[in-house]
Amino acid sequence: MNQLVYDFIKQNQDYILTEWMDIMKESTDERLIKVVSDRMFTQTSSEFIDMIITHVDSKNREFTLKLSDFAEKVVQLGWPLTFVNEGLHKFTLIVINGMVEKGIVTPGNQVELVNHLDKWSTPINNEIVNIYTQTWERTVSLQKIALQELSAPLIPVLEGITVMPLIGTIDTERAKQIMENLLTGVVKHRSEVVLIDITGVPVVDTMVAHHIIQAAEAVRLVGAKCILCGIRPEIAQTIVNLGINLNEVITKNTLKKGIEVALELTSRKIVKVEG
């Protein structure tokens, strides 16, 4: 770090912080202000500036550690990356302008100083983008795994009767998983009847219907019966409009009715105990 720049930043830490916060507040859009409370903004801002200033006099590795901590925090807060980038840019601007005002910058060393600051801030910038994307990627992949775990559970409810509740959008990937879990589950639990509940599926288009028909057919092939339940009135209407033939599958409008039918199919019924 150039001694002139270093001294200036060190001496004017407070000035830079207040100036920076004013500029950032002015230039940021409404979106951010809504996300972050005033206190949080001030606190995180001073942390950000603090961090940049530590970078001025600390070792690179220590800085990277601090930066990744900060980036994670900012991602959690939901600050946009552009804001942090903009922040760094504004920081260098404030330093240059401040130095011009104080007369530290002379026509002789101007170019050198600007180049120097640029060289200093570019790696920080890259590091921020890098850590930011890494944090995001990790979050996304974690969520993907979490979603996969939720995607097609098969629950044995009574002997010979299993339920697969489906919630959310069904895409090709999930349809494959549904089929797999259904078939392995039917064999594993020795199910006679499998209930597929689609109460939580927002849209049943021809692809989803096709997958359901295929799943029901496959279940039939392994020797069990398939009941489709949870068909909401609007879904029933769209299925009719689409002209999809679900005659091969037993359908019921609620899971409760489905289980009743499943009990019937396995020659059992629920009896109230007297006494």
Partner 1 sequence: MEFQSCVKIINEWDIVAARQLGRNVAKELGFGTIDQARITTAISELARNIYLYAGQGSVSIEKLNINGKSGLKIIAEDQGPGIEDIRRVMEDGYTTSGGLGAGLPGAKRLMDDFDIESIPGEGTKIVATKWLR
Which residues contact partner 1 (rule: CB under 8 A)?
Answer: 169, 171-173, 202-207, 209-210, 213, 233-235, 237-238, 241-244
Q: Which is nearer to partner 1, 130 or 238 (CB)?
A: 238
Q: How far is the CB of 109 from partner 1 (least distance, A)?
A: 50
Backbone angles phi, psi at 186, to 5 degrees: -60, -40
Q: How far is the CB of 141 from partner 1 (least distance, A)?
A: 15
Q: Quick one: which of 259, 200, 264, 193 has its CA closest to 231? A: 200
Q: Which is nearer to partner 1, 209 or 226 (CB)?
A: 209
Burial call 242-261: b when 16+ CB within 10 Å, e when fewer: eebebeebbbbeebeebbeb
Q: Quick one: which of 32, 45, 142 has its CA closest to 82? A: 32
Q: In Å, how far from its chain's centre is CA 174?
A: 18
CA distances from 179 to 168, 194, 239 (A): 16, 12, 21
Q: Which is nearer to partner 1, 119 or 144 (CB)?
A: 144
Q: How far is the CB of 169 from partner 1 (least distance, A)?
A: 5
Q: Which is nearer to partner 1, 7 or 171 (CB)?
A: 171
Q: How far is the CB of 239 from partner 1 (least distance, A)?
A: 9
Q: Which is nearer to partner 1, 166 or 262 (CB)?
A: 166
Residues 6+ apart with CB under 8 A from 50: none
Q: How far is the CB of 119 from partner 1 (least distance, A)?
A: 38
Q: Which is nearer to partner 1, 16 or 228 (CB)?
A: 228
Q: How far is the CB of 235 from partner 1 (least distance, A)?
A: 6
